[in-house]
């Protein structure tokens, strides 16, 4: 019975609404992933820094993100940023009312969350790269920045990818929270359709199926990148298999 209702829905134009919402969900996910990866790299560098204040700041950041609900962070950024932004703007002589859009607030809030967890993923990955690599690079006379970009990052990237993939999947589901501050992504669009149709189960279930499809597609994309990141390992595995080894 439910499937019939969903099939009918295809011709009602509500599905178009849900698709528009899905596109928005993907956009927020991509934007927050980008912000989160930058913050994660920064956080990991801070936590591994020999400069104590940076280390403590990194530790505190991860500690806060782990214990405070994403929803609260979204509220804090969205409703709490106005006064802060207006104070900063007034230093530059701008005194109009400023408010973050739900999109920007959501991207910042979920980017912060992603960054907190990504800090741990990146830190683990940096520690997994053998210190001899860094020493060899500096023995060759590379500058610290060049060692970071040429030697460490390409290897860290590969080790961190599975962990980051999980974070992206979590993030994608967390984008539903931005609906609470009014961003018209999949969940918000679904709420609007439910108000119009008065068929909550049908439409929330449809939304659930759309999130599931997003999860499946994302998993496949991530698997592709993971395999790609390991392509330098593959010939070894192949020879081992051919030789009847482990």
Q: What is the DSSP letter of 231?
A: T
Q: Does 204 bind other proteins (CB under 8 A)?
A: yes
Among 10, 16, 34, 80, binds other proteins (CB under 8 A): 80
Q: Does 79 bind other proteins (CB under 8 A)?
A: yes
- Show Cβ contacts of residue 3 under 8 Å, excluding neighbours closer than 6 positions: none
| 44/37 Cα distance (integer angstroms) | 10
Q: Does 56 bind other proteins (CB under 8 A)?
A: no
Among 17, 46, 61, 70, binds other proteins (CB under 8 A): 70
Q: Does 6 bind other proteins (CB under 8 A)?
A: no
**149 alpha carbon, distance to own chain's centre:** 22
Q: What is the DSSP letter of 179?
A: G
Q: Does 33 bind other proteins (CB under 8 A)?
A: no
In contact, 25 and 110? CB cutoff 8 Å: no
Q: Does 196 bind other proteins (CB under 8 A)?
A: no
Q: What kind and span of H or E run contains 240?
A: helix 234-242
- Show Cβ contacts of residue 60 under 8 Å, excluding neighbours closer than 6 positions: none
For residues 213 to 242, the per-residue mask of contacts with other proteins, x marking binding by CB under 8 A and - elsewhere, is --xx--------------------------
What is the binding site for other proteins (CB under 8 A)?
A: 63-64, 66-73, 75-76, 79-80, 83-84, 173-177, 179-180, 187, 190-191, 194, 199-202, 204-205, 207-208, 211-212, 215-216
């Amino acid at each position: 019975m439910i499937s019939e209702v969903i099939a009918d829905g295809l011709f009602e134009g509500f599905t178009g609404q849900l698709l528009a919402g899905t596109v928005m969900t993907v956009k927020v996910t991509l934007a927050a992933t980008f912000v989160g990866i930058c913050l994660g790299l920064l956080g990991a560098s801070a936590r591994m820094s020999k400069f104590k204040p940076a280390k403590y700041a990194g530790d505190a950041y991860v500690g806060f993100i782990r214990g405070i609900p994403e929803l609260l962070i979204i509220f804090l950024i969205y409703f709490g940023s106005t006064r802060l932004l207006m104070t900063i703007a007034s230093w530059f002589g701008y005194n109009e009312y400023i408010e973050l859009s739900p999109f920007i607030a959501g991207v910042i809030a979920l980017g912060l969350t992603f960054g907190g967890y990504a800090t741990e993923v990146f830190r683990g990955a940096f520690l997994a790269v053998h210190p001899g690599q860094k020493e060899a690079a500096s023995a060759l006379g590379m500058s610290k920045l060049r060692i970071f970009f040429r030697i460490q990052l390409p290897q860290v990237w590969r080790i961190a990818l599975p962990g980051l993939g999980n974070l992206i999947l979590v993030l994608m589901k967390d984008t539903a929270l931005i609906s609470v501050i009014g961003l018209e992504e999949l969940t918000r669009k679904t709420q609007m359709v439910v108000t119009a149709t008065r068929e909550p189960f049908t439409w929330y279930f449809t939304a659930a199926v759309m999130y599931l499809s997003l999860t499946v597609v994302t998993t496949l994309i991530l698997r592709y990148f993971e395999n790609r990141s390991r392509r330098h390992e593959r010939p070894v595995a192949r020879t081992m298999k051919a030789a009847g080894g482990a």
